Structure 1
Amino acid sequence: MVGLLVLAAFLTLADRWAVLYAEHRAADALKDRLKLTAAPEVEIDGFPFLPQFVDGRLGSVKVTVPDVSADRITLASVSATARDITLDGDGPTSVHGARVPELNGDVLLSFADLNRELGASQVTFTGEGRDRVLARGTLPVAGHDLRLRADVRIGRAGDQGIATTIGGMRLDVGDLATYRPGARASEGLHLTPKSVTRLARETRKVRALLGVPSVVRRMGVPDATVREALRNDDKLAALTGSRDFVHQAMRVNLLDLTLAHPEVLDRLGLDPALLDALSRLTRPVLADQLSLGFRLPEPERGELWLRDVRVEKGGIRVRLAGQGLAFGD
Structure 2
Amino acid sequence: MAEDYPADGARPRRRGRKLLVGLIVLLLVVGGLLVVADRVAVGVAERTIADRVGQEIAKQGAQAARPDVEVAGTPFLTQVLDGRYQRITINLRDVRASVEGDAVQLPVLDVTARNVRAALDTLRTGQGDIVADTVNGAGTISYDSLAALLKRPGLKLGEQNGKLAVTAPVDILGQKLTVAGTADVTVADNGAVALRFNDLDAAGLPNLPLARALLNNYAKGISVDVPLPDLPFQLTVREVRPLPEGLAVTVDAKNVPINSVG
Question: What TM-score, normalized by structure 1, do the two folds share?
Answer: 0.56
User: Larger helix proportion, structure 1 or 2?
Assistant: 1
- Report 1:18-57 matches (<5 A): 18-35=41-58, 36-57=63-84
Q: 2:27 and 2:176 mapped to 1: Cα distance?
A: 75
Q: Closer, same or farther in 2 for the Cα pair 1:33/1:79, shift >3 Å?
A: same
Please state how far the C-alpha of 1:17 moved relative to its aligned partner: 1.6
Residue number in structure 2 paired with 1:164? 195
Q: Does 1:133 align with 2:164?
A: yes
Alpha-carbon deviations, 1:126-160, whole Å to 9, x = none? 21344x2111255799xx97534243221110262
Q: Closer, same or farther in 2 for the Cα pair 1:297/1:92, shift >3 Å?
A: closer
**Residue aligned with 1:188, SS:** helix
Q: Closer, same or farther in 2 for the Cα pair 1:286/1:171, shift >3 Å?
A: farther
**Residue aligned with 1:295, SS:** coil
Please state how far the C-alpha of 1:322 moved relative to its aligned partner: 0.9
**Residue aligned with 2:65, SS:** coil
Instruction: Identify unmatched segments of 5+ residues in structure 1.
Output: 190-281
Q: 1:324 and 1:8 mapped to 2: Cα distance?
A: 36
Q: Does 1:321 align with 2:252?
A: yes
Q: Closer, same or farther in 2 for the Cα pair 1:179/1:47, shift >3 Å?
A: farther
Residue number in structure 2 paired with 1:152? 183
**Residue aligned with 2:222, SS:** helix
Residue number in structure 2 paired with 1:310? 241
Question: What TM-score, normalized by structure 2, do the two folds share?
Answer: 0.68
**Residue aligned with 1:90, SS:** helix
Q: 1:139 and 1:79 mapped to 2: Cα distance?
A: 38
Which among 272, 294, 304 is matched to residue 227 of structure 2? Answer: 294
**Residue aligned with 1:187, SS:** helix
Residue number in structure 2 paired with 1:213? none
Asked whether the 8 Å contact 1:108–1:317 carries over to 2, the reply is yes
Q: Closer, same or farther in 2 for the Cα pair 1:305/1:91, shift >3 Å?
A: closer
Q: 1:179 and 1:47 mapped to 2: Cα distance?
A: 69
Residue number in structure 2 paired with 1:59? 86
Please state how far the C-alpha of 1:179 moved relative to its aligned partner: 11
User: Which letter maps to 1:11?
Assistant: L
Q: Closer, same or farther in 2 for the Cα pair 1:80/1:284, shift >3 Å?
A: same
Please state how far the C-alpha of 1:45 moved relative to its aligned partner: 0.2
User: Which letter maps to 2:79?
Assistant: Q
Please state how far the C-alpha of 1:27 moved relative to its aligned partner: 0.7
Residue number in structure 2 paired with 1:283? 218
- Report 1:191-206 matches (<5 A): none
Kindly, what percent of the aligned residue pairs are identical?
22
Instruction: Identify unmatched segments of 5+ residues in structure 2.
Output: 1-23
Please state how far the C-alpha of 1:37 moved relative to its aligned partner: 3.6
Q: 1:106 and 1:171 mapped to 2: Cα distance?
A: 35
Which among 114, 136, 151 is matched to residue 83 of structure 1? Answer: 114
Residue number in structure 2 paired with 1:107? 139
- Pick which of 27-36 and 96-105 moved more: 96-105
Which among 16, 24, 27 is matched to residue 4 of structure 1? Answer: 27
How many residue pairs match? The answer is 225
